[in-house]
Each structure stands twice: as structure tokens, then as C-alpha cells.
Amino acid sequence: MASGGKENKMLFDLRGRRRRSVVKVVYAILAVLMGLSLFLVVGGLNLGELFNSGGGTSEAAKQFEEQAVRIERELKKDPQNPDLLLGLTRTRVNAGNSLYEGNGLEEERTVTPEALDQLQLASDAWSKYLKATKEPSLGMAQQMTFTLIALAEFANSPPESKENLEAAIAAQTLVADNRPSLNSLTTLAFYEAVLGNEKEAKKLANEAAKYGQSKFEKESIDNELKRYEEIGVKYRKFIKESEALAKAKGEGSKQALEGNPLGEFGGNSLESGASPSE
């Protein structure tokens, strides 16, 4: 947890046959989905802060972690302070993102166990923040959407994966409800489709189409929705089979799920004429 866990404790076990050191994840899981919502919904962000790359990566992560520790000290005096909790969430997200391996927006990035540990701590802080504030930050909600999707993909158990996916939907709902747009609504529709809420997904897709500025955009929504519905069928089957396998093995220890279909999230793109400051 954010307030009491040791920093060197690995929260995610990525030591499976194909994940002994790091796990390759196509950067589109975050970057392309951000193309759907992040810039058009909450405006420009400092990419250098979000995705540090090159030789300064570990140093940046260290600075973010030290900043998080300082905030946690302040929280011991005022544990319900929403500003501190928001700052802690943001700092943990930045620490996690700076621990990805690889650089450049078009290249594969590799998520490390250390990155996932920081993202999990961000999730813990986000949960506390939501309880402490009546007006959640929409910018942070958008960042947490993608953070939680990453946690859902690399979860150690089916319940954890579903819980993170549901939390991602809740975060994206905050954005879509308060700043409806082509991208915020389609992203939410896609997530709902994966979870199996196809009726709600279709409703959101129809609402998103009203913001489309071309026939191509509107057709793309339907095509992408079908793709996410297919991913959802595979995801729910994967979860069910993983639960059955875990029960059959009777293993008490957690191990990263292999072959999670959420890895197929990359590759979608919807263009919008909205301005970056929407």
C-alpha cells in the first residue's frame, strides 16, 4: 500500500516462462489510447515528465520516489488531505512511467516489475484520493485510466485484472461525463465492451458518433467497437480459464497471468478535429 509498503517489495510477479526479467508491451497500450483521449480531453501534458527516456531514466525515477516519500510523511500528519493524495498519485504514476524501458513514441516499450510496483502504489493513492475529494481531477483520472489498464493486463490473478479494468472504467467515466468528446466516449465504450457491457458500450458509441466530424470517424467507431467486443469475448474466456486453472493447481502464490488479451488494446486510432485544449 502507498502508506506502509516497503519500496523494495515486488508487488507483481513477472517471473513466468516468458517474463523472467521484463515484459514486452507495445507502447500503443498507453500511447495510442492516449491518442484517443488524453490530449483531446485534458489538453497538452509534459511528455518529458510522463515518459522519461534515455540515460536519465533511473535518476528520474529515483527523484519521483523520493518526492513520494516526502509526500507520504506529510500525509501521516494529514491523511485525508486531497491535495497531498493527488500529488502522491501523480508522483507514483510518473515514477512508474519513468521505469519503463525503451524510448521514443513509435518504439516498443518494456514494462518492468519496478514500474508496475510504482503504478500499483499510484492506484492505492488514487483510491484514497477519491474518498477524500468531492471533485476529482479529470487530468489525473485520465492518467489513471491508462495506468489501471496496464495493471489489469499484468495482474497476478483474474480478480485483480477485473478489479483494475473496472477501476479504469470508473476513471474514464469521470472524464467522459464531465468532458464528453469523440475520444473520451469511444474510449469508455471500448472498455465497457471488453468487460461485457455491450448495451452500455453501444449507447456510448452512439453518443460519441455525434462528435464525429466525418463519415470515416463515425464508421471507425463501429469498426473499433466490434474489435473490442471480440477482445472482450477472449478476455472473459481467458479470465474464466485462468480462474479454473488456479483452482485446479491450488497454488497459494500469485503469478503473472500469461497471454492476457488486454495486450491487444494497441493499434486503434480515431482522429478528431477537437483542439488540444478541449
Same-domain check for residues 229 and 101: no
The residues, ordered by sequence, that sit 6+ positions from 210 with a Cβ below 8 Å of its Cβ are none
Q: Categorize the per-residue pLDDT at 101 as very low, low, confident or very high, splitting at 50, 70 and 90.
A: confident
In a domain, 261, yes or no: no
Residue 122, pLDDT above cutoff 50: yes
Parent domain of 222: 180-249
Strands 23-25, 109-111: parallel, antiparallel or unpaired by DSSP? antiparallel
The residues, ordered by sequence, that sit 6+ positions from 106 with a Cβ below 8 Å of its Cβ are 27
Residue 56, pLDDT above cutoff 70: no
In a domain, 2, yes or no: no
**Mean predicted lDDT score pLDDT of the chain:** 78
More confident residue, 123 or 59: 123
Same-domain check for residues 165 and 229: no
Span between the terminal Cα atoms of the chain, in Å: 35
In a domain, 74, yes or no: yes
**In one letter, which amino acid is 156?**
N
Which residues sit opposite 23 in a β-bridge?
111
Residue 274, pLDDT above cutoff 60: no
